[in-house]
Amino acid sequence: MGFWEMKAALDWQVAMGLDEAIADAPLDRFAESEAAEKAATAPKPAEAAPVVAEVAGPDPVAVAMAAAEAASDLEGLRAAMDAFEFCDLKRGARQLVFSDGIEGARVMIVGEAPGRDEDREGRPFVGRAGQLLDLMFSHIGLSRTSVDKEHALYITNVLPWRPPQNRDPKPDEVAMMLPFLTRHIELSDPDVLIAMGNHATGALLGRTGITRLRGTWAEAMGRPVLPMFHPAYLLRNPAAKREAWADLLAVKARLKAGATR
């Protein structure tokens, strides 16, 4: 065997994992195998239980529930929400956006959260989406400016403070503000609730999928609820206005029939 053949054979052995040709002392491979088997079958020492850090401070949801239940009217509820310090959104928003429209209106619209325009003005649905919302409901004889409760709208949001960059609400934010929304609905006592968009539908009904759920009546808090496309979605998808018109007609028919609970 020549040099190159021997080198090729050595290279093959190196590739197979051999890293030394001759050891300084003989190795007892049988003893190594027995030691490995004993180590594998030996009982493992008990692991220390993980240390779970306790979260200090009150539960925000419990605090919200107590504050909401203590409110006897809408002004008291607004004050309770304004004093609530557990939602970080409050620190980045200009002001609390509570509601708009006529107290005691038969129809209550629940949106997602304030945007830039709403944060500036302190009222829900005042931007382009709000203008479209007003136009939509005017076609079935409803308005937030009406003094007649039969033809009035009352509007609020799941979150009263604007999320940064208009991002989606986080589950913990919705959870801590939901007791206030529940009390808001109880005090307003509407005949019909409109869940405007996917996040409002999730908060009121506990499930999402607005494309599938819109146009189908459900129930929340003892009241009929109709999920609808958010006006902002309709601005981006004008073809969906056909479904929105069908939903508006369903609201009109429900009100005409008495909207019994």
Of the candidates 258, 224, 149, the one whose C-alpha atom is nearest the C-alpha of residue 247 is 224
Asked if residue 125 is part of any domain, the answer here is yes
Q: Is the pLDDT of residue 54 over 60?
A: no
**What pLDDT was estimated at residue 222?**
93
Domain residues for the domain of 142 are: 60-257
Query: Looking at the predicted structure, is the pLDDT value of residue 42 above 70?
Result: no
pTM of structure: 0.77
User: Tens digits of per-residue pLDDT, 202-244?
Assistant: 999 999 999 999 999 999 999 999 999 999 999 999 999 999 9
- Residue 161: which CATH number? 3.40.470.10
- What does the pLDDT average to over 21-30? 61
Number of H helices, E strands in the chain: 12, 6
Q: How far apart are CA 175 and CA 132, in angstroms?
A: 29
Residue 194 included in any domain:
yes
Q: What is the CA radius of gyration of the chain?
A: 32
In sequence order, the β-bridge partners of residue 108 are 154, 193
pLDDT digits (tens, 9 = 90+) for 59-75: 999 999 999 999 999 99
Beta strand pairing status for 153-157 and 223-228?
A: unpaired
Closest-CA residue to 178 (of 204, 207, 141, 151)? 204
Compute the distance between CA of residue 251 and CA of residue 99 in angstroms, rounded to an integer. 21
* 191 pLDDT above the threshold of 80: yes
Query: pLDDT for 146-166, tens place per residue?
Result: 999 999 999 999 999 999 999
Q: Residue 54: inside a domain, yes or no? A: no
Contact 156, 125 (CB under 8 A): no
Q: What is the Cα–Cα distance from 112 to 103, expressed in whole angstroms? A: 20
β-pair type (100-101, 107-111): unpaired
Work out how many domains the chain is built from and give that number: 1
Q: Identify whether 85 is part of a domain.
A: yes
